[in-house]
Amino acid sequence: GQNIDQPTEMTATEGAIVQINCTYQTSGFNGLFWYQQHAGEAPTFLSYNVLDGLEEKGLFSSFLSRSKGYSYLLLKELQMKDSASYLCAVMDSNYQLIWGAGTKLIIKP
Amino acid sequence: NAGVTQTPKFQVLKTGQSMTLQCAQDMNHEYMSWYRQDPGMGLRLIHYSVGAGITDQGEVPNGYNVSRSTTEDFPLRLLSAAPSQTSVYFCASSYAPGTGNEKLFFGSGTQLSVL
């Protein structure tokens, strides 16, 4: 079966760096997405990786290793507004999205 | 720029009632979809459409119907509501799969409770 694994919850301190991991087993691969979802709101797009390596976008980066079925989202200089759930999703060979259950990130002052 | 407009925001139904969740997008996206989100689980695809007149079932289609008569609109119908359908529902749209531009734009969500 197809599966996405990510930690259920993480805690970090304001101003620090946090890495949220995502491992996947899917039928084929057509890209990996990260979305941010604040409580009570809709998910919003953060990043898309289809090739191996690191994509940097200011205060966050996303990394992909297709051979290892692994990605991470790196958030730097954490702010209280970064408290949210982070969803990892993989697009399989049929272009269907397989979603992880999300990682709830708690930022402490 | 409206994006994806989803209504209603909240709804309470009694078991056996029917209702329609509305979804409209103004980005000329070919792909539209409906998800449900339950605590501790990933988003689960209910139904999707790759263009007007074309719909298909997702992972959890039972108890739901959809239609796509125009590019803009993709309503979700609950035929006979059951407590198991209590959930948060999201409509989402994107450009067609395979274009390399598949990032989803989500509606604001509907919190549905079935008593």
**What is the structure's pLDDT at B40?**
86
Q: Is B106 on the interface with A (CB under 8 A)?
A: yes
State whether residue B52 sits within 8 Å of chain A by CB.
no
For residues B57-74, give the mean pLDDT.
Answer: 97
> Which residues in chain A are contacts of B43 at CB distance < 8 A?
43, 87, 89, 97, 99
**From CA A97, how far away is CA A95, in angstroms rounded?**
6
Can you give the pLDDT of all 109 residues of chain A as single tens digits? 789 999 999 999 999 999 999 999 999 999 999 999 999 999 999 999 999 999 999 999 999 999 999 999 999 999 999 999 999 999 999 999 999 999 999 999 9
Place of tokens 């919190």: B111
Residue B73 has pLDDT above 90, yes or no: yes
A32 has a chain B CB within 8 A of its CB: no
Per the document, the length of chain B is 115
pLDDT per residue as tens digits for the range B81-101: 999 999 999 999 999 988 888
Residue A40 — φ and ψ, nearest 5°? Answer: 80, 5
Q: What is the model's pLDDT at position B100?
A: 84
For residue A1, the model assigns a pLDDT of: 79
Chain A closest-CA separation from residue B80 CA (Å): 26
Q: Do B43 and A33 touch (CB under 8 A)?
A: no
Nearest alpha carbon to residue A7 among B56, B98, B40:
B40
> Which residues, in sequence order, are CB contacts of A2 under 8 Å at separation 6+?
A24, A25, A26, A27, A90, A92, A98
* Total residues belonging to chain A: 109
Greater confidence (B1 vs A41) lies with: A41
- Asked if B43 and A4 come within 8 Å (Cβ–Cβ), the reply is no
